[in-house]
Amino acid sequence: MKFSKKFKSSKNPRKQRAYVRLSPLHLRQKMLASHLSAELIKKYGMRAISIRKNDKVLIMRGDFKGIKGTVERASLRGMKVYVDNAKTTKKDGTRISIPLNASNLMIIELNLDDKKRLKESVKK
């Protein structure tokens, strides 16, 4: 099965999941987006932006709700985000990061190392 460029939308959950599963990485980057905090919304005039490494985020849902941390890694293949303060301990004592959905995070500080990041988003 291949990715369809002609896909518009569907109410069928199976087709929606297939669209995400088969999508190329440049489209997955756009899907891996998160809401901005109220201050950032006023400052930049946008509601959401794609997550990148070193963004500061607040976890809004799940076991780690209310914890702030920085993004260690954003996995496009798994469509998950790894935050440095969201870790658990295994039985052998090693600490591992828990994968989180980008929709369950809120960006509270942007990583602006790349100057083109906001310019590209504001154009859209």
* pLDDT tens figures, 23-52: 999 999 999 999 999 999 999 999 999 999
- Say which residues have a Cβ less than 8 Å from residue 81's Cβ, sequence separation at least 6: 32, 34, 51, 57, 71, 73, 74, 75, 99, 100, 101, 102, 105
Q: What is the pLDDT of residue 120?
A: 64
- Whether the pLDDT of residue 4 is over 90: the answer is no
Number of domains in the chain: 1
Q: What is the pLDDT of residue 3?
A: 85
| H-helix or E-strand spanning residue 27 | helix 25-31
113: domain CATH number is 2.30.30.30
Q: Using CA atoms, how far apart are residues 31 and 24, in angstroms rounded to an integer?
A: 11
Across the beta sheet with 80-89, what order do the strands follow? 48-50, 33-36, 105-109, 56-59, 68-75, 80-89, 95-100
Residue 9 lies in a domain: no
Q: What is the pLDDT of residue 100?
A: 97
* pLDDT tens figures, 70-104: 999 999 999 999 999 999 999 999 999 999 999 99
Domain that holds residue 97: 34-123
Residue 50 lies in a domain: yes
Residue 18 lies in a domain: no
Question: Looking at residues 10-17, what average pLDDT do you find?
Answer: 92
State the pTM of this model. 0.86
CA count, 13 A, side-chain hemisphere, 122: 9
Q: What is the pLDDT of residue 83?
A: 97
